[in-house]
Structure 1
Amino acid sequence: MNVAFEISINENFAVVDFALDGIIAPDVLNGLSPPDPVQENFAHLGVVLSGRGPIWLYGFLVHFYHPTKWVATHDPRVQGAVIVASHTPEIEVGTLIHFQKK
């Protein structure tokens, strides 16, 4: 099974959407290649992770995007994303970033 990624970048953050093509097993993480924030030129921004997947996939992605300004997870119930890791005093963990997914 595969994980497909799509990035959309605005002036403040990049949204990294992912979609699974079925049920995935944990060993998929070993060969997973999410969009690289340095190569794709968004390491200086925050990252919003969006998609339906197992918690261990989210854990992997939060760790992968740790070098970015901050990391948030999209939660449609709050119409935005919740900051779960931050390297800047302007954005605290637990902050809600309001945005509409396209």
Structure 2
Amino acid sequence: MMPDKCSVSEEGKQCVNPPQFIVSIVDGKDEYMFGLTCQKHRHIVTGKLTILQDEGKIHSGKISFTPVKSVGTDCIHGDADDLVQIDLKKSN
């Protein structure tokens, strides 16, 4: 499960936009997820992560924005045939 809102807060107010990108740092073969952002805040997140990298507070590496993909399925459902009846009558 992912949050339904962008991770960015401006002036103490949480962004109400849905997340459009997973933000991570790619460092060689490792990847570290930092949060979610909408298109509107993508440049702000890039700037903040760049500053934190320059200060040595987070891993250096390429800042990556992976589009969030919505996944849904209707293949899981239950039928009456799926139920199992357990008879707890004791026979002597």
TM-score, structure 1 normalization: 0.26
Larger radius of gyration: 2
Q: Counting strand residues as a fraction of each chain, which structure ranks higher?
A: 1
- Tell me which of the two structures has the higher relative contact order, counting C-alpha pairs closer than 8 angstroms and 6 or more residues apart: 2
TM-score, structure 2 normalization: 0.28
